[in-house]
Structure 1
Amino acid sequence: MTLRKSFILYVLVTSLCCSMAYAQKIQSYPIISPNGKIKLVFEYHQQAKIDSSASAEFDVYYLTNGKWAPILSDTEIGIATQKEQFKNLTLKSAGSVKRLNARYEMISGKRKLCSNQANESTCNFVNANGKALNVIFRVYNDGIAFRYEFPKWSDQPVHIEDEYTTFNIPAQTDRWVQAYDPGYEDFYPYSNNGKGEKSQEWSYPALFKHQEAPVWYLISEAGNSEFNAASRLVNNKDVNRYKISYSAGRKSFPQQGDISTLPWKSQWHTVMIGSLATVVESTLITDVSEPSRIAQKDWIKPGAVAWIYWAYNHGSKDYQKAVGYTNLAKTMSWPYVLIDWEWDVMGNGGKLEDAVNYAKSKGIKPLIWYNSGTTDWSKDTPVDRMRTRERRIKEFEWLNKIGVYGIKVDFFAGDQQDMMKLYLDILKDAADHHLMVNFHGATIPRGWSRTYPNLMSVEAVFGAEWYNNGDVMTNKAAVHNTTLPFTRNVIGPMDYTPVTFSNSQHPHITSYGHELALSVVFESALQHFADRPEAYYALPDAPKNFLKAVPTAWDETRLLSGFPGKYVVMARRRGAKWYIGGLNGQEDAKVLQFNLDFLNKKQANINIIRDGENDKSFKSQMQVWRKGQPVKINCLPRGGFVAVVE
C-alpha cells in the first residue's frame, strides 16, 4: 500500500471514529414567558451507540427587534451528593408546561401588589445508579428561575455537597460583581474580564450587560430554607464560566452544603432579564419565595428610625444619648429609635428600661441590638441571647413585657446551613412575639420578607457605617451609591444607614442633595437615618420637612433613568404621591433627565429640592411638567435631588 493510500485510509477511519464518538440525539424543550419575550430552551444530549451517559443544559433567549437574541448559552445543570453524582443523566420525562398566576401583597419593598406569573415545567432524570432528580424550570416575564428536587429514594439523610450548575458568560461581557465576603460588605466594581483582585469567588447578586443586545441580567438566589446553605459563584477555571458553589465549612461548623432527609428541594437560582428598568423593578426574588407564614400582620409597620451608632459608636450605653435620639425621632416624626450595642451596660442617668420608658412616653417605639453569638471574633454585648431557642424565647418575652418593638441582630458567622436555619428560626420566634427584625453583618436578602414580613431590612452592604472604619468611602461613595440600585438593592431591603450631612470619623464629599436623595433611591422598610440630631435640626425647612414625611415602604417603583456607577433617577409611589430621587455618581456636574409620561396626566406640579450653589446647600423650586416634556435637573459633582409629584 502506498503512503498516500495509507494516509487516506487513516483519515477516513479517524473521521468515522470521531463521528461515532460525537453522534448524539438532542431533545429540546422550550418554555416561553407569559408575555412572549423570554424563552428558555432545555436541551438533553444523549450520546448514541457509544455509552449511555447524558448531559443536560439550557439556553435563554430574549426577543428583541423581532428576533430571539441568545442571552445565556449552554448553562450546565447538575448536582452532587456525598455518595451520588447527578451530572451524566438519563431523561425519563419532560413535563408539560403549566401556567402559574398568583397574586400577593407585600408590606414593604419596591411594590405592594405583586404577581407570581410564570410558565413552569419539570424535567425528571435518573443517574447511573437509578436515583431520581427533578429540575423545575420557571420562565417569568422578567427572568427565569430553576431549582433541584430529590424525591424520596433514601430513608437516610443525604449530604448535598456541590452543584455542577455553570453559567457561561460571553467574553468581554460588562459585569458588576462583588468579591465574595461573608458579610457582603464590598464594592461592585466594573469589569469586562471577570478577574478578581483577591480570588475568583463572587457574591450575589451579579449584574451583567449583554454586548450585542440591549439586555441586562442579574444572577442571584432565593427561597433558601433551613435545608439549604447559601451558594456563591466561582470562575477560577475560566473567567467566563461562573459555577455555583456552596459555602465552605468553618471551624465550628465544618459541613459544606446541605444535609437533609428526602424529599429535598434546593433554593431557587434566579436570573432577572430584560431592560435595566425591568431588572431594577423586578420582584422575582419574592415571587419564587414561600408565601407569608404570618396570619396577623397589623403590628408590622415600616418607618424611619433615629440611629445612634454612626455619630457616637458607644452612644447606646449613654442614657442621655438615647434620650437625645428619642427627641430627634419625636421632632422629625419618625416612629422609631434604635438603641444599639452595649445597651446592657447603659449608664449616665438611666438603664435600658428607663430609655425604653422615655421613648414610649414620647410616642416613639424603641428597637434594640443583639449579637447573634455565632462568631469567634465578636464578643460585643449583649451576646448569645439569640443563639438558642430557649434563650430567644426568654429574651423575647422580656422585650414584650418592657415594650420593645423590634430587634437588630448582628455578626452572623457565614452562609452555611446552620446560619440559614438560625435566620429563619429568629424570624419565626420573633413573629410569634410580634417583633420586627433587622439583620446586620448578615447574608443578602433571599425572599424571606415575603415568608416572614417582619423581616424589615438586611445590611449586607458596604454602607455609611464604613465612614467610621476608614477613608475609602470618602472617594468611592458616589460611584458606589449609583451602583447599588442596580445590584444589591434590587434583591431586597438594604440597611445602608443613609442621609448624613455632618461627618463621622472620616468625611464624605457627596453633596447634601445627594445625601437627601438616598432616602428615596435606597429601599429599606426600616430606614435608619444616621446623622447626629443637630445636623437634622440645622437643615432648611424644605429638606427637613421632606425627611419628616418620606415613606419607607412603597406601592410602586420605577427606574426613570440611570447607568451603574454613573447616575440613577428612581421614582417610588406611596398612595397618590410620587417621590423621586436622583444621584450623580460622577466627578463632573451633570443634568439628570427623566420623563414622567407614565403618570398619564397632561401636566403636574413637581416640588424639587436639589443642589444649591455649593455641595452643602439646597435649592428648592416648583416646576410645572407637561406631558411629552422631559424633566431636567442640574446636579453638582457627586450631587443629587429629590422631588415630589402630587
Structure 2
Amino acid sequence: MKYFFLIVIFFRFNFALAQHMTSPNGCISARFSLKDSLGNGVSAGEPYLDILYSGYKKAIPMLKGLKLGLDREDEHFSKNLKLTGAIDKSNISERYETRHGKRKQRSNEANEWIYHFENDHHKRMDLVVRLYNDGVAFRYVFPDRDTLKHAVIDEQTTFVIPSGSRSWMQPFTGSYEDFYYSDKDSLPNKSQEEWGFPSLFSIAKDSVWMLISEADLSRFNAASRLHAGKQAGSFKVSDPYDVKASLSEQLFVSGNWSSPWRVMIIGHLEEIVASTLIEDVSTPNQLSDTDFVKPGAVSWNYWAYNHGTKDYQRVVEYVDLAVKMKWPYTLFDWEWDQMGNGGNLADAVKYARSKGIKPLMWYNSGKSGPTPVARLNTHESRMKEFEWLNHLGIYGIKVDFFDDDKQHTIAYYLDILQDAATFKLMVDFHGATVPRGWSRTYPNLMTTEAVYGAEWYNNGPTMTTKAAWHNTVLPFTRNVVGGMDYTPVTFTNSQHPHITTYAHELALAVAFESGLQHFADRPSGYLQLPLPAMKFLQEVPVAWDDTKLVNGYPGERIVLARRSGSKWYVSGLNGTDASQTLELTFKYLSPGKYTLTLISDGATDQAFKIENIAVTQAGKIKVKCLPRGGFTGYLQKVK
C-alpha cells in the first residue's frame, strides 16, 4: 500500500464559530451543542449533535439530538461538560489503495473538528467529529496519559431515528447470522432489544438513507451493538458486558485511549452501496509487505459434504474441481487432522500443489469443539503453527467459532492478523464479528462470515423460502461494511433445497463481494453448467476496481455493476416470489460501443437464456426475471 498524499491543515476557532460543521461538498452538515436536562443551551451540560442532509431538493434532518458521552467508574463525561475554549479544525485529504474490496483506489476526504472538554472535576475528554461527503463519523478520546486503568461503565451515544422512517436491522446474535428484518416484517421476537451493526434506515420516504455501524476497533476496545430504548426509534450504543457484572468484568481503558468510530453513512442508496467509509476512517495499512495478499475463488467441500475433509478422495475431487474451474484455491475445512481414505493432510497438500492449486486450512479459534482445536490460542502456539504451515505450503487460514465481542476477543482477532502476516498467510474469519475496517489496517484479512449465508441450507428450511429476499437485502446492509463470506453460487441442493433460479445463483458471484469467494456447490453442480455459464465462473473476478448500484430496493431487487480492469460485470437479483422486469442502464461506461454477454433466466428455474447484445453508454435494456430469478453478464468494448 502506498500513500499518495496526506494534507492536514489546522485552524483554531472559538466555540461560537465552530458549532456548525459541513462536509467538503456541503451536502452534510452537523451542529454541536451543550444542553441542560430541559434541552436549553448552556455553557456546561450534556453534549449533542444534530445532523442534516442537504443533497436533496430540501434539507432533511437525519438525526436530531444525537446524545453523546461516556461514563467511567471514576468519572462522568456525559454531563456537566464544559468546552475549554478552543476547537481544532482540520481538512483531511488522503489517497490509498487496497488489494481487494469494492474499489481499488480510495479517497479519504473529510473535514474534522476536535472538541476539547473538561468535566466538573477538570478531567479531560475530546470528541472528534469528521464530516465526509458520504457520512459522519465521531469518536471519544481520553487525551491524558493516565497510567491507571478505568472501567467504562456506560456509553451514552443514542441515535433517535426520525419518525416515519423505515428500518432494516438484524437482531443481535454473537455470530451476526440472522436476517435483516424490515420494520414491516414479522419479527421472530417482538420484544427484541439488542440489534447488531450495521443497521439501515430510510428517511423521509426514501429521500435519503443512513447506515449506522462502527469502525477501527483497537485491542483496547470492545465491539458494540444497539440497544432499543423506550422511545420509538431510539437506539443506544451498548457494549457486550453485563451491566450487573463486577467492575473486573468491564471494558478497561488507560493512557491515551480512543473509542471506535461511530459511523453514519448517509446519502442515496447509490452512495450507501458504494461507500468505503468504514475502511476510510480506519487505521492505515500496518503491513510492510502485501504482495502475498492475492484474492481469488476457492473450491469448498463443506456445503455439500459436512465432513468432506476427513475423506482424502473427496479432497482430491475438490482440488480437481478448482483445476477445471481455473480457481486458484481450495479449502481444507474442519477435521483435516482426521483425514483418511487413501491419504493424509500432507498428501492432500502435495496433490493440490502438484496441480497448481493453493491450499487454505480451517482452524477452531477456541479451546474445545471440532478439531483442530487450541492451536492458535497463544502467540507462541500461533508462531509455531504458522511456521509449520509455511513449511507445508499453505497460503491462508479460516478461523472459526469466536466467543464474543469483548475486549480480549477483539485483541485475539488482531493478534491472529498480525502473526499471520509475519508468515504471509491470508485470513478468513468465520463465526465472527461483523467487519469493522480491519481489512485496511491488515490487508491479509480477506473476508469475514458474519452473515446468514448459504451454509444455512444445512441447518433448516428457512433459507429455502427467504433466500431471494435476503439476497437483495445484503448488498444494502452487511456487504456495505466489508467482504462477506456468504459461500454463494449453488445449483444442486444441500440438506435443504433452494428455490432461487440458476441465473439468480450465478449472479451472486458478482452481487456479493468477498476477497476469498468460496464457491460452495459440489463438482457436479458446476460441471453440468452450459459452457457460457461455466466460462463466466472460471473468469469472474473477486476483487473490484469500482462498484456502482444501478438500481434497487432492499428486499425487492438489486442491479449492480462492478469493474475489473476495463471489463464491467453486471448482476441483477429478483427478491420476490413474483416475476419481475429489471432495468439495466450503462451510464458508468465510457463512450463507445460495447457487447453485453447476458446470462438470464430461461424458460424454467434451471434454464439459462444467453444473449449477446449491443449497447452504449446512453442505452438501457429490460431483463425479464422469473420469481426469485436474476441475471448476470459482462461488457466488453468493441474495438
Q: Secondary structure at the match of 1:449?
A: helix
Identity over aligned pairs, percent? 50
Match of 1:304 in 2: 297
Return 54-63 or 131-140, whichever deviates more.
Answer: 54-63
Q: Which amino acid aligns with 1:292?
A: N
Tell me, in whole angstroms, the C-alpha distance in 1 between the residues paired with 2:103 and 2:430: 23
Please name the residue that 1:476 is paired with.
Answer: 466
- What amino acid maps onto 1:234 in structure 2? H
Q: 1:69 to 1:257 in 2, by over 3 A?
A: farther
Report Cα offsets for 1:150-194 as digits up to 9, x if no partner.
012632112222200001112231000000001000000110699
Superposition CA RMSD, Å: 2.2
Determine helix, strand or coil for the equivalent of 2:139: strand
Instruction: State the partner residue of 1:461.
Output: 451
Q: Cα–Cα, structure 1 residues 500 and 253, in superposed 2: closer, same or farther, change >3 Å?
A: farther
Letter aligned with residue 339 of structure 1 = F
Residue 618 (str. 1) matches residue 608 (str. 2): yes
Equivalent pair of 1:246/1:256 in contact (CA under 8 Å):
no
Which residue of 119, 123, 128 maps to 1:127?
119
Residue by residue over 1:510-538, the C-alpha shift from the partner in whole angstroms, topping out at 9 and shown as x without a partner, is: 00000000000000000000000111111
In the TM superposition, residue 66 of structure 1 has moved relative to its aligned partner by 5.2
The Cα shift of 1:213 comes to: 6.2
Structure 2 unaligned spans of 5+: 1-14
What is the SS of the residue equivalent to 1:60?
strand
Q: Are the structure 2 counterparts of residues 50 and 464 from structure 1 closer, same or farther at C-alpha, using a change threshold of 3 Å?
A: closer
Q: Is 1:527 aligned to residue 517 of structure 2?
A: yes
User: 416, 424, 427: which is aligned to 2:406?
Assistant: 416
Distance 1:27 1:79, change over 3 A: farther
Q: Distance in 1 between matches of 2:378 and 2:89?
A: 44
Cα distance between partner residues in 2 of 1:543 and 1:251: 56
In the alignment, the residues of structure 1 paired with residue 57 and residue 555 of structure 2 have an alpha-carbon distance, to the nearest angstrom, of 31
What is the match of residue 98 of structure 2? 106
Contact between 1:340 and 1:368, CA under 8 Å: does it hold in 2?
yes
Specify which of 48, 64, 69 is matched with residue 73 of structure 1: 64
Q: Is the 2:177–2:452 contact (alpha carbons within 8 Å) kept by the matching residues of 1?
A: yes
Partner of 1:500: 490
For residues 250 and 39 of structure 1, the distance between their equivalents in structure 2, rounded to whole angstroms, comes to 35
3-state secondary structure, aligned to 1:262: coil
Aligned to 1:7: none
The match for 1:289 is 282
From 624, 629, 633, give the equivalent of 1:643. 633
DSSP 3-state at the match of 2:544? coil
Q: Determine which of 317, 321, 336 is the counterpart of 2:314.
A: 321
Deviation at 1:585, TM superposition (A): 0.4
Counterpart contact for 2:327–2:538, Cα < 8 Å: yes
- Give the letter for the 1:73 counterpart: K
Structure 2 Cα separation of the partners of residues 581 and 64 of structure 1: 28
Q: Corresponding residue for 1:384?
A: 374
Please name the residue that 2:341 is paired with. Answer: 348
Instruction: Check whether the contact 1:64–1:213 (CA below 8 A) recurs between aligned residues.
Output: no
1:238 and 1:608 map into 2 onto residues whose CA distance is 49
Checking the alignment, whether the CA contact within 8 Å between 2:164 and 2:203 is kept in structure 1 is no
4+ residue runs over 6 A deviation: 25-28, 46-52, 250-254
Query: Counterparts of 1:405 and 1:193 in 2: how far apart (Å)?
Result: 43
Match of residue 357, structure 1, among 340, 350, 353 = 350
Match of 2:48 among 57, 64, 75: 57
**Whole-angstrom CA distance in 2 between matches of 1:297 and 1:51:** 51
Aligned mate of 1:179, from 171, 177, 182: 171
Aligned to 2:135: 143
Residue deviations 1:3-29 (CA, integer Å, cap 9, x gap): xxxxxxxxxxxxxxxxxxxxxx99971
More deviation, 46-55/91-100 = 46-55
* Secondary structure of the structure 2 residue equivalent to 1:561: strand
Q: For residues 62 and 419 of structure 2, what CA distance do their matches in structure 1 show?
A: 42
Which piece of structure 1 moves more, 180-189 or 234-243? 234-243
- 1:464 and 1:193 map into 2 onto residues whose CA distance is 21
**Cα distance change of structure 1 residues 51 and 215 upon mapping to structure 2, 3 Å threshold:** closer
Matched-pair contact (CA < 8 Å) for 2:588–2:617: no
Change in Cα spacing, 1:372 to 1:50, as seen in structure 2 (3 Å) is closer
TM-score, length-scaled by structure 1:
0.93
C-alpha displacement at 1:211, in angstroms? 2.0
2:149 alignment counterpart: 157
Q: Are positions 1:118 and 2:75 aligned together?
A: no
Conservation of the 8 A alpha-carbon contact between 1:201 and 1:236: no
Q: Is the 8 A contact 1:172 1:193 kept in 2?
A: no
Letter in 1 for 2:578: D
Letter in 2 for 1:78: G
Query: What is the 5 A alignment of 1:436-447?
Result: 436-447=426-437
Determine helix, strand or coil for the equivalent of 2:521: coil
Bigger mean CA deviation after superposition, 192-201 or 299-308: 192-201
For residues 51-91 of structure 1, the C-alpha deviation after alignment (integer angstroms, 9 at most, x for no partner) is 98511101111114454221111100000112111111111
Q: Which residue of 2 aligns with 1:333?
A: 326
Query: Is the 1:26–1:44 contact (alpha carbons within 8 Å) kept by the matching residues of 2?
Result: no
Aligned-residue offset at 1:384: 1.0
Q: Is the 8 A contact 1:592 1:633 kept in 2?
A: yes
8 Å CA contact retained: 1:132, 1:153: no
- Is 1:205 the counterpart of 2:182? The answer is no
CA displacement at 1:30 relative to structure 2:
1.2
Residues 303-335 of structure 1, C-alpha deviation per residue, up to 9 Å, x if partnerless? Answer: 000001000000011100110000000010000
TM-score by length of structure 2 reads 0.94
2:387 is paired with a residue whose SS is helix
- SS of 1:95's partner is strand
> 2: distance between equivalents of 1:556 and 1:600?
13
CA distance in 1, matches of 2:245, 2:403: 9
Contact map agreement 2:18 2:87 (CA 8 A) in 1: no
Alpha-carbon offset, residue 433 of structure 1:
0.4
Greater alpha carbon shift after TM alignment, 616-625 vs 215-224: 616-625
Consecutive unaligned residues in structure 1, runs of 5 or more: 1-24
Residue 595 (structure 2) pairs with residue 605 (structure 1): yes
User: Greater CA deviation, 453-462 or 365-374?
Assistant: 365-374
